[in-house]
A and B are shown apart, each in its own frame.
Chain A
Amino acid sequence: MSDLRVGADEARAAAQAVLDLPGADGVEVTVHVSAAGVARYANSQIIQATERDELRVYVRVVTDGRLASATTNQLGAERVATAARHALEAARSSLPDEEFTGLADPDVVGRADPIGRVDAATASVSAADRAAAVRSILAAAGGGRAAGVVETGVQAYGVFNSKGIDCFDTYTRAVATALVDDGEATGWGESSSHAVGDLDWDAVGRLAAQKAAAGHGAGDAEPGVYEVVLEAPAVATMLDYLSYVGFGAKQVLDGESFLSTMTGAEVAAPSVTIADDARHPRSVGIGFDFEGVPRRRTEVIEAGVARGPVTDLRTAAQLDAPPTGHYSGSNEFGPYASNVVLEVGDQTYEDLVGGVADGLLVTRFHYVNVLDRPSTLLTGMTRDGTFRIRDGAIAEPVRNLRFSQSVLDALRAVTGVGRDLHAFAPDFASFGSTVAPAIRAGEFRFSSGTSH
């Protein structure tokens, strides 16, 4: 894989060429550039291998209190100028936006320092390297049919505006996943970091194979309320959805977030602190949002108490709160917490399992969806390793179950937080990360079962 085709200087030059667009009261340009590759394997061989360069330029224009934007995937001066002109024309067709508080002013919001989470080795991984990693995973997976991805890439974001915002940040990421199907059961392993050297290919394949082997002879578990240990991949999914339904100020203003009615209240066990923190050592992100506002660590739930949402300039003004630097690029969706971290506790994995007299262990969830936003009610399935825990030890595998559970109710029932943090990447080349340990929760509702 080659390095990025566009660096800070090229991005800045392209942006500056349109920042003084005649007829515009303000112009903001965001540039995203990436170079990434993935080796996707299934049935124990690579089935789709990809390398690609991408670029996206977003131009947002303000004129006479009206806004619009245009995007292009070409950085040539003529194309960026055309995008700016299109945005201006569109803005003139729009309605006055009385909620708009202006483009970010660096003298007001401050200047963002880049995080620079870049690993040179990750940026130079080749297709042959990724194929070798897949071979290592397959070897460690034993005789089962294995499927997953090995993915590496480098991403950069720049934000520039006519008030002087000038930010550019770069990160790398490496991801490995493995699902092993040995004919009787499936198991799962995964690992993610900004540095490819942190990934242990063998361990990913070995864990998936061990989970599959442990799943032989699964029986039914009756639907009902169980004490659970949720391994880190399952916790990360719950956190992603909790952030999606409730951490953004737009959801608060629309009355759809739990924070709309519960800010200041105890919403989780005292051992639970959840923050958005792009600068956490295990996070992968950038130091500013898509308005160029410095991204600040924001504790949404602190020691079990709901504190407040993440904001952008627009919603911060509406809430009379400081901007936290979480503009998502969409006023329709609002600000977004994209680097969620559940702070570690003091429990080993053995402590978590050992504290369960009769319950279930969940490796990960599948196809989760939102049933009710204010109550953070989700449904989804378990997959790739669900086990009964009896007398503090994993006893036997069980077939997959559907859960219907409020995330906050589960967090209220937390009786243990793991001390080992795991990092999770969103889907290929997407923005953000999730960092989570395993947890033990006293009550978790499963509503039905399935045949495998």
Chain B
Amino acid sequence: MEDLLEAALDAAVAAGASYADVRSVESESEALSVRGDVVEALERSDSEGFGVRVLVDGAWGFAASYDLTNEAAAPTAAAAVEVARAAATTAESPVELVPEPAHRATWSSPLQVDPFSVSLEDKVGLLAAATRALSVGPAIRTARGTMDVLRQRTLFVSSEGAAIDQTVVHTGAGIEATAVEGSEVQTRSYPGSFRGHLEAGGYEIVTAMDLEAHAPQTGEEAVALLRAPDCPDRETTVVLDGHQVMLQVHESVGHPTELDRVLGMEAAFAGTSFVGIPDLGSMRYGSELVNITSDATTPGGLGTFRFDDEGVEAQRVDLVRDGILVGFQTSRETAAALGAERSNGTMRAEGWENFPLIRMTNVNLLPGEGSLDDILADVDDGIYMATNKSWSIDDKRKNFQFGCEIAWEIKRGRLGRMLRNPRYTGITPVFWAGCDAIAGAGEWRIWGTPNCGKGQPGQTMRVGHGTAPARFRNVSTGTSQ
């Protein structure tokens, strides 16, 4: 593979590229889904290929191929150069890259138990046992367990002399129960919705979840939701669990602080941002409790690596400090717009076939103090919501509406009645300004979001968010039905 990459690099430079990088990705994965006694999916996949990214006449070009013969190197590089030359006919401002040392390194994400060493029989058995435990009564229409395992090796070489070899392993699982009564449908999941929870690491992540032990309560809550009262329409104090805070951070802080969005590069598809470069260092994004980082070094994060997909070393940078916007997620191309001397290393691509984009690594809300119980104790009248269910936010990331699987009334500092179909709405900086408590390190954990979409061609990225439960004042709540 190394010979192929070097040949493609040489061909790109020979064809006129002022800069070139070549990245190969070799991946293997397993995806399992068990519903009741039926194995709905048991799939093993592999993929490998390479992509050539070039700068010609100040414009980017990219070409990719699954053909791994050395004969494919030159034509693929030539295609990238041809594409770049065509793009250059529209170039108004040539691309310039801030410098980055030419790293030469090898790195692998740590793990305890290689998830591929565990037999498929054991994995199916674990999920089957958990789904049996989910089926707590006749109202449970669907009891499902899922597991996902990925090993991905990326080689990166550049015309500046970089040569990087890194491998990540991601492992995750989850269960969900759907209860149906007439036209009422309610779902509960554990430990998170949308295929559970993934982390960088090995099978120890699945073992630690203890899905079977958590299944009965998950199923019972799905059934109980069928007849729970709807979440009321009101303005009140809302406490969110860590999973929903993850989604809140992702949509209303992570995406708006991607510098390509700020600069209009995502305008037609994902949208832009309500913040601009002039806001840096002065705009109040939230209360003084709100501290948010972009951290590609967080242990266990789906956005954890040693180098991004343009060879920039992993970093931890502040995005929001004491409630003030202080940073953006950048690339070598966009960092110059900030006058920055270096990219903070957030360029990532899905697979070998895609152009890297600014993507969240691990965007983390730093912990505050105390426990969830402490946060609840200070609420005389409010609502506690848990586990993300739906999300929608406008094209500038300002007006949002998020729904959760379940909620409870908070009365005089304690949880009361269960509420179904909870949702809340808000305007991003107003909402974060109302944050008056974040639980401490004891309840802070890293969550994995495996399905973040962005770009054209569309790319699905795995990102991480470290969060803890948090409290927000004066929030508009209601029912999603």
Contact = CB atoms under 8 A, between A and B. Distances in A.
Q: Do A and B bind each other?
A: yes
A239 B475 CA distance: 32
B170 interface: no
B87 A131 contact: yes
B392 A87 contact: no
B268 interface: yes
A95 B39 contact: yes
Nearest to B84: A49
A73 interface: yes
B3 interface: no
Contacts of A135: 89-90
Contacts of A149: 268, 456
Contacts of B267: 42, 145, 147, 179, 181, 186
A348 interface: no
Nearest to B82: A127
Nearest to A148: B268
A451 B21 CA distance: 41
Given A45-B93, A48-B62, A375-B481, A93 B124 contact: yes
Interface stretch (B12-20, B297-305, B320-328, B398-406): B398-406
Contacts of A53: 64-67
A331 interface: yes
A41 interface: yes
A181 B90 contact: no
A252 B455 CA distance: 33
Given A138-B90, A145-B264, A261-B182, A428 B390 contact: no
A163 to B, nearest CB: 21
Interface in B273-312: 274
Given A69-B42, A148-B268, A255-B141, A93 B120 contact: yes
A142 to B, nearest CB: 15
B43 A372 contact: no
Interface string A171-193: 00000011101000010000000
Interface in A40-87: 40-55, 66-74, 83, 86-87
Given A68-B42, A371-B480, A450-B398, A178 B268 contact: yes
Contacts of A46: 59, 86-87, 90-91
B82 A381 contact: no
B84 A372 contact: no
Given A53-B64, A255-B141, A367 B44 contact: no
A380 B481 CA distance: 14
B271 interface: yes
A107 interface: no
B108 interface: no
B42 A90 contact: yes
B475 to A, nearest CB: 13
B83 interface: yes
Interface in B5-40: 33-35, 37-40
Contact of A73 (B46, B274, B401): B46
A93 B127 CA distance: 13
Nearest to A82: B46
A9 interface: no
Nearest to A178: B268
B183 A95 contact: no
B371 interface: no
B423 to A, nearest CB: 7
Contacts of A39: 86-87
Contacts of B124: 93-95
Contacts of A260: 183
A224 B35 CA distance: 41
Interface in B406-429: 421, 423, 425, 427
Interface of A: 5, 37-55, 66-74, 83, 86-87, 89-91, 93-95, 97-99, 126-128, 130-132, 134-135, 138, 145, 147-149, 151, 177-179, 181, 186, 254-256, 260-261, 330-332, 366-375, 377, 379-381, 383, 400, 402, 404, 427-430, 447-452
13 contacts: A41-B90, A45-B90, A50-B354, A52-B64, A68-B43, A73-B46, A94-B124, A151-B456, A261-B182, A331-B41, A367-B392, A381-B393, A383-B395
Given A47-B265, A126-B82, A134-B90, 5 more contacts: A38-B456, A41-B90, A48-B60, A50-B457, A366-B394
